[in-house]
Each structure stands twice: as structure tokens, then as C-alpha cells.
A and B are shown apart, each in its own frame.
Chain A
């Protein structure tokens, strides 16, 4: 088994296409996960019993099943009931919902950490519920959560190869088709690993910085 530089160079354009899709899926998935999580966390606190219970069960259900199974449902089974999603859209929804249930937990903890006195002061100055969330609770709750949220985004990024199972042409899928075509696995798989390392290591350093910066925002 010998390393073939010529093959590496020839593979680069194809792999690059995969890189772009991987980054797209991570970016879109993150936006969805961060939004879904926030709404789930707020819904879990709803005084309406039905809404809060439904959100809690939804979270348990999504966390209790593997992401791969969810992706198969979204892409291969939803078309049976008339919902047709492109591979990337199905993948982004899968990642966003799955990780949304994890970010919901981060938001929940962050919101619970806001002292009761802040809610009471907001009421005493007669802010409405939505003004209280927007002006008082969320701006205070978010900064301390940033490291934990970033952590989930990095985890999500490393799970994007699962999308190859639903035919998304992300990096792993491109590498696999190159390998299958040329019967060489060493170079493509190594390059996939190297790419994830190249992104993951700076991300971890970045995360440490975030942790230092946001550990105690107002002190």
C-alpha cells in the first residue's frame, strides 16, 4: 500500500464539492438547531399543560432514537405520505431537529439560571411576556450558553457523514464514490479525516476562548 500523490491531486476537485456541501449542511443545520431548541425550551415552560407536555415528549422521542433512523424516515418514508424532500433538505431538517432537542436542554438550563427576581422586576415594571423574554431573559441567558451551544455545533459537524446514507453528496459520500471507482480507500478516507481534523482542532481552541470569555458575563 503506497500513498499516491497523483491520485490525491486528481481527487481534490471532487472532494472540494463534498466539503462545500458538508459546510452547507452544518451551517443550515446549526441555524435550525439553535432556533428549534429555543422554541422547544420556551414551549416546555408554557403554562399550557398540553404544549409543555408535547414539547417534552417530542424531545424525549427525538433523543431516544438514532439520527440515522430519523434521516431514513425523513428521506425514504415521508415520500410515502406525499412529502418529498431533497437529500440536503431532509439532511438539514434531520440534523436541526435532532440537535435542536439537545440545544433545547442548554437553553432550558440557561433560562433556569436567570434569577426569579429578574422575572419579578420585569413584571413590576409592567413588561409583557414577550418583552420580558426579548429584553430581559434571552439577552442574559444566551452568553453563558454560548460554549455549550458551540460544542453541539461541532458535534453536529462531525456527524454530517451520516447524511451520505440519504444520498447527500457531502464529503464522505464523494470520498466513498472516488474510492469505489478507483479501488483506493487510503487517500480519500485519509483526506476526509484530515479535513475534519483541520476544522475540529481550531474549533476546539475557539471553544476554549468562548468558555473563558462567557463563563461569568456580568462579574
Chain B
């Protein structure tokens, strides 16, 4: 197999006495679409946050394209990464958040062009052109001069996806990107992600509660519980034939909850 784009080597994350990730290791191949599922508090979001350098590691190592993320070499020894190293490594990684986190004082277009101009030094005209292509792709070209506050949740999330894509990361992290949306707005965001998955060879990690989407979209599914990977495999296997009792009971719960929700909606309609 080729060199993994992400190589997580026995990482542990503690918040005080609470161990969120417990000596966890896994690898992601370039271009792979990975879905991380599991009950809340199982540590799956924390992995994305550590990869985006929003959260520090307690111990362990992460390699991105063979290069240390949280460490660097200094005088032949591996030391904690400094801000310059983290800045360089972040170029490879983009993230879309559950609560969008758009910049409310900037227009849609400025939200997308800001970082390419400042961090990559792309000239303003070029950055705008690229931003318009991305807005076209997510179907929001007509909103370019609007402020985020005037957009629906689904529109905000599509702008947030465009903002992350503008930096052309090799790895995209999607952290429960549809969890804060009204049910009728979920599909417009998922279809943008589906399109991305088909048209690009970006590596994508998503934490999601949309089991149906995870099943269609992912090449591989990791099931987490209490900071451990309980089971991993292709979606057909995890969703139809899970080996572990914990995976089975989790899927029973979310699938029946999903069914109830769908029935309720159907009843309303």
C-alpha cells in the first residue's frame, strides 16, 4: 500500500481525569473517504479537532504525508511543534464545523477569499474568481455580497465548505456538518459533499450521525466507543453485519431513532 496520508500512532487525549482517546492508532490512505461513527462522547470529534490542531495531544504521534503534525525535529530530537511548524502543516488540512463558524462581519465572498489572500498570497482578483467558481459549485453565486446572517443554515454550511475548499487542502474534515440543520436543509449540504467525493480525490474524514449518508459515501467506517475503535470496515459490513455487540446495539438505537423521526415527519406531511 502507498504511504498513508494520515498515520495516527497510539495517540491519547485526556481532559483532566477524563480519557477521551485511549492509545488510538489508525491510518488513512490518500483519497479515502472515512466515516467516524459512534455515540456522543466517544472521541470521534476530538480526533478531527486534534488533526486541525484545535486540540493538543496528551501523547502519541500523528504523521501527515509522512511528516510529524504535532512534533518537529530539532537537533536530531523530536520536540513539540512550534507555531511556525503547525502553520505549515495546517496548509494541508481544512475543516467544516457543526456550527458553520462563518465570519459574520464579512460578506460571503470575503469569507471565502480572506484566507487565500492572507495565507497563500493569492491576488485579490484571482481569489475572487476562484471563490466564484466555488460558489457556483455549491449553488450560491447569487449570495456573494450577502452577510452570513441572512443565509439559511444549509446555505451557511455550503459557504463554509467553499471557504475550506478555497485553500485547496489535501485533507478535509467534516465535523457533524448537518447536525445543526433543520431536517429539510440536510440534503442540500449532503449533495454538495457527495459531489465533492465524486469529483475530487481529496481525503475526507467525516464525523456524522447520518448513517444513510455514511453508508453511501464512505469507503470505510470506524465505529468508536469510549476512545477506542471497536470495529472498522467497509460500510456494507459495518451496517449490515457488524461483528461487535456494541456496534450492533448502537446501530439498533440510531436506526430506530431515525425511523421514528422519518415516521413523525411523514405523519406531519
The chain A residues found within 8 Å of chain B, CB to CB, are 115, 117-118, 120-121, 123-129, 131, 135-136, 139-140, 217-219
A120 cross-chain contacts in B, Cβ below 8 A? 52, 54, 97, 101
A131 cross-chain contacts in B, Cβ below 8 A? 118-119
Q: Kindly provide the distance from the CB of B70 to the nearest chain A CB, expressed in whole angstroms.
A: 14
Q: Which residue of B lies closest to A217 (CB)?
A: B105
B103 cross-chain contacts in A, Cβ below 8 A? 118, 121, 135-136, 140
Q: Which residue of B lies closest to A129 (CB)?
A: B83
A115 cross-chain contacts in B, Cβ below 8 A? 101
Q: Indicate if the CB atoms of B97 and A218 lie closer than 8 Å.
A: no
B115 cross-chain contacts in A, Cβ below 8 A? 125-127
Q: Known A-B contacts: A124-B90, A140-B104. Give 14 more (CB < 8 A).
A: A120-B54, A121-B97, A123-B53, A123-B54, A124-B94, A124-B97, A125-B164, A126-B119, A126-B167, A127-B118, A128-B87, A131-B118, A218-B104, A218-B149
Q: Using a Cβ–Cβ cut-off of 8 Å, how many residues does chain B contribute to the interface with A?
A: 26
Q: Indicate if the CB atoms of B54 and A117 lie closer than 8 Å.
A: no
Q: Indicate if the CB atoms of A117 and B52 lie closer than 8 Å.
A: no
A125 cross-chain contacts in B, Cβ below 8 A? 94, 114-115, 119, 163-164, 167
Q: Indicate if the CB atoms of A123 and B104 lie closer than 8 Å.
A: no
The chain B residues found within 8 Å of chain A, CB to CB, are 52-54, 83, 87, 90-91, 93-95, 97, 99, 101-105, 114-115, 118-119, 147, 149, 163-164, 167
Q: Which residue of B lies closest to A124 (CB)?
A: B95
7 A-B pairs whose Cβ atoms sit less than 8 Å apart in the complex: A123-B52, A125-B164, A126-B119, A127-B114, A127-B115, A139-B105, A218-B105
B149 cross-chain contacts in A, Cβ below 8 A? 218-219
Q: Kindly provide the distance from the CB of B132 to the nearest chain A CB, expressed in whole angstroms.
A: 18
A121 cross-chain contacts in B, Cβ below 8 A? 97, 101-103
Q: Which residue of B lies closest to A118 (CB)?
A: B101
Q: Which residue of A lies closest to B91 (CB)?
A: A126
- In the assembled complex, the Cα of A47 lies from the Cα of B164 at a distance in Å of 28
Q: Kindly provide the distance from the CB of A152 to the nearest chain B CB, expressed in whole angstroms.
A: 24
Q: Kindly provide the distance from the CB of A49 to the nearest chain B CB, expressed in whole angstroms.
A: 17
> Residue among B97, B104, B147, B167 with the most chain A CB within 10 A?
B104
Q: Indicate if the CB atoms of B53 and A140 lie closer than 8 Å.
A: no
Q: Indicate if the CB atoms of A124 and B105 lie closer than 8 Å.
A: no
- In the assembled complex, the Cα of A129 lies from the Cα of B118 at a distance in Å of 12
Q: Indicate if the CB atoms of B97 and A126 lie closer than 8 Å.
A: no
B94 cross-chain contacts in A, Cβ below 8 A? 124-125
A123 cross-chain contacts in B, Cβ below 8 A? 52-54, 90
A129 cross-chain contacts in B, Cβ below 8 A? 83
- In the assembled complex, the Cα of A89 lies from the Cα of B95 at a distance in Å of 51
Q: Indicate if the CB atoms of B90 and A135 lie closer than 8 Å.
A: no
Q: Kindly provide the distance from the CB of A181 to the nearest chain B CB, expressed in whole angstroms.
A: 56
Q: Kindly provide the distance from the CB of B181 to the nearest chain A CB, expressed in whole angstroms.
A: 16
- In the assembled complex, the Cα of A105 lies from the Cα of B149 at a distance in Å of 28
B99 cross-chain contacts in A, Cβ below 8 A? 117
8 Å CB contact of A135 from B52, B118, B147, B167: B118
B167 cross-chain contacts in A, Cβ below 8 A? 125-126
Q: Kindly provide the distance from the CB of A5 to the nearest chain B CB, expressed in whole angstroms.
A: 54
Give the 8 A-B CB pairs with smallest separation, nearest first. Answer: A125-B115, A121-B101, A117-B101, A124-B95, A218-B104, A126-B90, A126-B119, A218-B149
